[in-house]
Amino acid sequence: MDSASTFVHLAGESVSVVLDVSGGVPVIEHWGGRLDSIDDWTSTALAIPHGGLDDAVSLSIVPHEGFVGRPGLAGHRRGGRHWSPRFRHVDHSLDRSDGAVTIEVRGRDDVAELELVTQVSLVDDVVSVAASLTNVGDGPYMLDALSVTVPVSDRASRLGTYSGRWGAEFRFEQFDWPIGAWSVENRTGRTSHEHPPYVWATSSNADEWSGHVWGLHLAWSGNHTVFAERLVDGRRYVQMGELFHPGEMCVYPGETYTTPTVIGVHSPSGFSPASQCFHREARRRRPPLRSARKVHLNTWEAVYFAHDLDRLKELADSAADLGVERFVLDDGWFGGRRHDGAGLGDWEVSHDVYPDGLTPLIDHVRSLGMDFGIWVEPEMVNPDSELFRSHPEWALTTEGYDAPLGRRQLVLDVARVDAFEHVLARLDTLLADNDIAYLKWDMNRWVVQGSGVDGKAGSHEQTRSVYRLIDELRHRHPGVEIESCASGGGRVDHGIIHLVERFWTSDNNDPVERSRIHHAASMLMPPDVLGTHVGPSPAHNTGRRSSMAFRVASTLFGHMGIEADVTKLDEREREILRHGVAVYKTYRDLVHSGRFFRVDRDPSGLCFGVESEDGREALVCWLQIESCVDPAPWRVPGLSGMERRLVRVVPLVPSSEERTAAGPARRQPAWWESVSRGDEFHVSGEVLRTIGLPAPVLAPQRAVVLHLSCS
């Protein structure tokens, strides 16, 4: 970069970002396909029609004075002064380290006495953008909003967003991008089921493997706002940032507020390649995996609150026989927690249920060759608990108002030093005194109408304190893995992923519903961090009955677990489940390290797969959810290379019965009958990508898994 140059080029393998750094806040001039050079680059500023300002107002990363769209910075000093700052360029620098290239631009407003530092990084074709505001004056600066704004190409004519609720997370919706603004605001105090901070901007023809796609995510686990606007002059942008309650954020003299990072991915070839960028970033951010993703048995849907040592030992025996590698004791082991209305906050083993502590159960589990894990919900407290009776002031409530309950519980204000230290000490003792390898960290209540000790809204500090709490616990117990759960998938984001090894995607273990949830979540997260469990039949959430083979198939492309009373299974179900666990173990290294892809959506079912990084091996799954009259050919566009592939059916049951998930057809395609007999079948990667294989007719709730290897 020439220090005198106005434009800076951040170039990745297939993505380029061009920035104009002449002003106090950089302007993204281009974010999209890779450019070989910007030697002849000129400004992309639009013509100015009559009726506007004489000078063009740039759509900067933090748009401010003169911009008639939504400003990126909103705030003021006492009396409403300095509400419209204007930053002049001070300096900028370029850094290349750790595989990333980063530009940092510093701007300053001497009148408002504010300094703004904007940082843009490109690593592995993933863009990261953040901004920091420093108060260099003598008085406080009330900050109402500081958001990151990213312009998007005019090729983007549609938006894609997520909605949902408990048990029905990650409902993906697409719609035309209208002239004007679309926005959502989240005030639940967590990433949320309802409006997680992800948005896609796409060309009109975008699908899994064609069309231009831009994906943006705010890496933050608290309140947020997502705003997308199409201006009348044709410009389009997405703005994302933390949402503050009134008066929640004040930047005092010498202090700095830094936005959560906005992560951006782009692909000219559809959603799946863009998702793979999100996956690479997630794997880069998460803690390094120390071992293969172990098969779980979670006790929740097996026993709920009915904890009994002999019963749990029997469950562990049965789990070990199936090949389970980790036994996770869920809610009900502590204090007076015999139901969901009491005991939260009392993180000591219940002597009523476990008179000799957890050691007898843990020793039994460890003797069977399994790790031991346990459920906690450290951010919450029940009014019916010893902790609340001793310290009611530790609840995150607002003085003078009755606190709203959620699931008969309140939020514990871990931003308080005393409450933070108390919870940390209890969890530290729990892990120090017991051989525990895994924490399922849950959060089951919104953070609403909660004020800190100073009377201000406490959502921001609560989120930051939760990060600090987990971080300190990991520092003290580096061998313990942690799962992020929030009533299922209410806290799935790149902001907390550096602290956890796994996300619990949903409390819904119905394989049909869970497969749809998992399919949409895979647009954002790789399979190795998404927990998927074989549940009971009928499913506890929906009452749907499903075969064991179908339930197993729905878990193979995530982090597999079991959440059912396996002591009640008949011998045939046990045989199929044991076989399914073995199949998962055979292919988990491939699934958890390869390139995950999806095949274009079909209302009758789902198709997805994963290919190894060297392109020599792939695993592909078809889940037939509903009847299909005219099944389309099975195309596998996610494969690379031209090599011939050996196609083999991965049996989901351990005998010939139902081995190929035969459907209601008198005659199936020849290739299908060949592989069903166990014969070798070869086909080129090019044919699989472009033409596909004639699809067999499958009955509803049947699954097929194919292993493809270069021959």
**pTM greater than 0.85:** yes
Q: Is the pLDDT of residue 253 over 80?
A: yes
Q: Is the pLDDT of residue 281 over 70?
A: yes
Q: What is the pLDDT of residue 3?
A: 40
Distance, in Å, from the CA atom of 263 to the CA atom of 121, rounded to the nearest integer, reads 10
Question: Quick one: 280 exposed, middle or buried, by C-beta within 10 A (0-12, 13-18, 19+)?
Answer: middle
| Confidence grade of residue 542 (pLDDT, cut at 50, 70, 90) | very high
Q: Is the pLDDT of residue 4 over 60?
A: no
Distance, in Å, from the CA atom of 580 to the CA atom of 533, rounded to the nearest integer, reads 12
List, for residues 605-626, the tens digit of each pLDDT value. Answer: 999 999 999 999 999 999 999 9
Domain ranges of the chain: 7-285, 296-390+417-447+481-593, 597-710
Mean pLDDT of the chain: 94
Q: Do 7-285 and 597-710 fold alike per CATH?
A: no
Q: Is the pLDDT of residue 375 over 50?
A: yes
| Confidence grade of residue 2 (pLDDT, cut at 50, 70, 90) | very low
Q: What is the pLDDT of residue 145?
A: 97
Look at strands 114-123 and 126-135 and give their pairing.
antiparallel
Q: What is the pLDDT of residue 97?
A: 87
SS (H, E, C) 307-336: CCHHHHHHHHHHHHHHCCCEEEECCCCECC
SS (H, E, C) 187-241: CCCCCCCCCCCEEEEECCCCCCCCECEEEEEECCCCCEEEEEEECCCCCEEEEEE
- Over residues 150-154, the mean pLDDT reads 96
Q: Compute the chain's Rg from CA coordinates.
A: 27
Active-site annotation, residues = 442, 507
Helix (H, G, I), strand (E, B) or coil at 526: coil
What are the CA-CA distances from residue 253 to residues 116, 256, 457 (Å)?
14, 9, 21
Q: Is the pLDDT of residue 641 over 90?
A: no
Distance, in Å, from the CA atom of 256 to the CA atom of 240, rounded to the nearest integer, reads 19
Q: Does domain 7-285 have CATH number 1.10.730.10?
A: no
- Over residues 680-696, the mean pLDDT reads 92
Q: Is the pLDDT of residue 407 over 70?
A: yes
Q: What burial letters (b/e) apply to 614-636, b meaning 16+ CB within 10 Å?
A: eeebbbbbbbbbeebeebeebbb
Q: What is the pLDDT of residue 664?
A: 63
List, for residues 394-404, the tens digit of each pLDDT value. Answer: 999 999 999 99
Class for the domain spanning 296-390+417-447+481-593: alpha beta
Please name which of 698, 372, 370 lies closest in space to residue 553, comparing C-alpha atoms. 698
List, for residues 87-131, the tens digit of each pLDDT value. Answer: 999 999 999 988 899 999 999 999 999 999 999 999 999 999 999
| Confidence grade of residue 5 (pLDDT, cut at 50, 70, 90) | low
Q: What is the pLDDT of residue 53?
A: 59
The answer for 615, left when phi > 0, alpha when psi is -120 to 50, beta otherwise, is: left
Q: What is the pLDDT of residue 285?
A: 96
Task: Average the pLDDT over each of 410-419, 437-446, 476-485, 596-605 and give the range with the smallest value.
Answer: 596-605
Q: What is the pLDDT of residue 246?
A: 96
Q: Is the pLDDT of residue 300 over 80?
A: yes
More confident residue, 679 or 219: 219
Q: Is the pLDDT of residue 445 over 90?
A: yes
User: How large is the angle between the packed helices 459-476 and 417-433, nearest 10 degrees?
Assistant: 30
Query: What CATH superfamily is the domain 597-710?
Result: Golgi alpha-mannosidase II (2.60.40.1180)
| Confidence grade of residue 46 (pLDDT, cut at 50, 70, 90) | low
- Over residues 552-558, the mean pLDDT reads 98
Q: What is the pLDDT of residue 289?
A: 86
Q: Is the pLDDT of residue 55 over 80?
A: no
